[in-house]
């Protein structure tokens, strides 16, 4: 998309938001309710686009659209709950109130791996909050962006009366890549930029947004770990590990990348994992029996193979990692002897590094000693270990799970992470507050004008 077309898109987003912000929030929610129903009807259409673009297996593609539908339901409820506090004033006949108003235009940048759900986290909340959305989806997932936009347009024009048709422009698509992302980052007409993708991308965009004092919300790389304690239910852990590490071919920001295992259960766990990995159906993501499809492209497969080569050079034992064909690669387990730079790097592929520990403090230290801070988990049936992991001295991540793998979060909680992950929180809980402007309103209903802090000013 050229700059001129881009400018028209943003100007239209500004214009339509001015109308949308006057519609009561529960009525805005009605549009999202209808959209959710359209997505329910179109679940297979959008899922197919996800299978095509992101190369997901059917179950995961449908799961992703379900996540978007869940977001619609959440946002409909939210549309009646955008409330602030009423605070006791220190002055007589005064009242303090928090009022939430729309922000304006929300820019949304999404990655190839969750091309529908992550957009929906932002879109559904932004809509009920009274904003318009300008969406730059991944150039690798064009079919998904188009099918979501079509579902949105249909929801608006097939259900609502003609005067509402214009609200299809509440969602507009920016076609492009890095250059267009930079336009969005620099654009003062965009009040909030919500960007999901690599840490590299986030670190390039965030200073540009900050330079204009814009709001940014970042959901970037993860290097998610799991501690498997001597008190763990090992079979449960194996299921959590396999889905976490090889699901979506290891291309979730929440994928399991590091396994930190108590020395007393290390051998038994490795044996079970090797056999689980050996029986994984890897291949064409359109085939029903496949659980692990291809990587997104050859570049990604090459990066995986190069990381495995480096691991071998370091003397680590590598299980799996054979090329099936093209960019389809069998998931790999790497028995690493230390958490070196390679282990600290997020290779967006199904590589699971395994490390050993002897006491929990050491395991937590290893766990937290990476630049990223998205998702984390511990498998243990010991309450002290579990609670320690969630406490101040435990995991430093935004997502902390007990007896669940690091991926597959529900939309009801706030999603995001710390450190190089960017600090943003999307989807559930009170993440909506980032999509609104909070006004602290003070009302004087008396006949005098007392000053705060008891200041006498000419009295
Ligand atoms: C992502 O990979 O960018 O928790 C998002 C999960 C999914 C979302 C992943 N609900 O794995």
pLDDT digits (tens, 9 = 90+) for 279-302: 999 999 999 999 999 999 999 999
CB atoms within 10 A of CB 427: 27
Q: Which atom of ligand 1 is nearest to the CA of 252?
A: 2
CA of 199 to the centre of ligand 1 (A): 15
For residue 65, what pLDDT is reported? 98
Ligand 1: distance of its center to the CA of 113 in Å? 8
With CA atoms as reference, report the closest residue to 389 among 222, 228, 267.
Answer: 228
Mean pLDDT estimate for the chain: 98
- Of 240, 181, 193, residue with least CA distance to 217: 193
The answer on 276 and 133 residing in a single domain is no
- 241 in any annotated domain: yes
**CA distance linking residue 148 with residue 152, whole number of Å:** 6
In this structure, the answer to whether residues 366 and 240 fall within a common structural domain is yes
- Does the CB atom of residue 197 touch ligand 1 within 6 A? no
**Which residues, at least 6 apart from 391, have a Cβ–Cβ distance to it below 8 Å?**
none
Instruction: Report the catalytic residues.
Output: 219, 253
Residue 451 lies in a domain: no
State residue 222's pLDDT score. 97
Distance of CA 174 to the CA centre of its chain: 20
Assess if residue 457 is contained within a domain: no
Cα of 85 to ligand 1 centre, how many Å? 32
Banded model confidence at residue 37, pLDDT cuts 50, 70, 90? very high
Q: Taking the CA atoms of the chain, what radius of gyration do you get in angstroms? A: 24
* pLDDT value of residue 415: 98
* DSSP per residue, 11-77: HHHHHHHHHHTTS-HHHHHHHHHHHHHHHHHTHHHHHHHHHHHT---HHHHHHHHHHHHHHHHHHHH
| 298 and 430 housed in the same domain | no
Q: Examine the domain organization and report whether 276 and 146 are in the same domain.
A: no
The pLDDT tens digits of the residues spanning 80-114 come to 999 999 999 999 999 999 999 999 999 999 999 99
390 CA to centre of own chain: 21
| Number of structural domains in the chain | 2
Question: pLDDT category, 345, cuts 50, 70, 90?
Answer: very high
CA distance 238 to 272: 7
CB atoms within 10 A of CB 297: 14
Range of the domain at 384: 224-402
Residue 225 DSSP class: E
pLDDT digit string (tens) for 152-197? 999 999 999 999 999 999 999 999 999 999 999 999 999 999 999 9
CA atoms in the 13 A half-sphere facing the CB of 8: 5
Residue nearest to atom 1 of ligand 1 (CA): 253
């Amino acid at each position: 998309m050229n700059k001129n077309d881009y400018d028209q898109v943003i100007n239209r987003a500004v214009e339509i938001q001015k109308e949308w912000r006057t519609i009561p929030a529960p009525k805005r929610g009605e549009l999202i309710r209808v959209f959710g129903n359209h997505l329910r009807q179109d679940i297979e259409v959008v899922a197919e686009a996800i299978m095509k673009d992101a190369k997901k297996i059917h179950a995961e593609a449908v799961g992703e659209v379900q996540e978007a539908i869940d977001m619609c339901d959440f946002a409909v409820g939210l549309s009646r709950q955008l409330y602030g506090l009423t605070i006791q004033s220190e002055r007589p006949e005064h009242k303090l109130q928090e009022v939430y108003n729309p922000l304006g235009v929300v820019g949304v940048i999404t990655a190839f791996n969750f091309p529908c759900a992550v957009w929906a986290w932002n879109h559904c909340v932004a809509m009920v909050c009274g904003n318009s959305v300008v969406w730059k989806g991944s150039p690798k997932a064009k079919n998904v962006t188009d099918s979501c936009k079509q579902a949105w347009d249909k929801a608006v024009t097939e259900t609502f009366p003609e005067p509402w048709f214009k609200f299809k422009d509440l969602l507009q698509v920016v076609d492009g890549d890095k250059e267009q992302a930079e336009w969005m980052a620099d654009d003062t007409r965009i009040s909030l930029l919500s960007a999901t993708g690599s840490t590299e991308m986030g670190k390039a965009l965030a200073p540009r947004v900050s330079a204009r004092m814009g709001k940014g919300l970042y959901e970037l790389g993860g290097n998610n770990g799991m501690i498997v304690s001597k008190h763990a239910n090992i079979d449960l852990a194996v299921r959590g590990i396999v889905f976490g590490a090889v699901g979506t071919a290891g291309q979730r920001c929440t994928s399991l990348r590091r396994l930190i295992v108590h020395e007393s259960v290390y051998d038994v766990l490795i044996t079970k994992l090797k056999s689980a990995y050996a029986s994984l159906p890897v291949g064409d993501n359109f085939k029903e029996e496949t659980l692990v499809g291809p990587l997104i492209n050859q570049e990604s497969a090459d990066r995986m193979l190069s990381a495995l080569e480096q691991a071998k050079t370091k003397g680590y034992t590598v299980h799996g990692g054979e090329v099936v064909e093209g960019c389809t690669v069998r998931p790999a387990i790497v028995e690493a002897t230390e958490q070196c730079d390679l282990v600290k790097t997020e290779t967006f592929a199904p590589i699971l590094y395994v490390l050993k520990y002897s006491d929990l403090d050491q395991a937590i230290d290893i766990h937290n000693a990476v630049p990223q801070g998205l998702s984390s988990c511990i498998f243990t049936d010991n309450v002290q270990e579990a609670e320690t992991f969630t406490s101040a001295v435990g995991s430093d991540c935004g997502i902390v799970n007990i007896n669940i793998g690091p991926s597959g979060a529900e939309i009801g909680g706030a999603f995001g992470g710390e450190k190089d992950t960017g600090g943003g929180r999307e989807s559930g809980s009170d993440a909506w507050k980032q999509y609104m402007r909070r006004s602290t309103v003070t009302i004087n209903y008396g006949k005098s004008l007392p000053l705060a802090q008891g200041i006498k000013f000419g009295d």
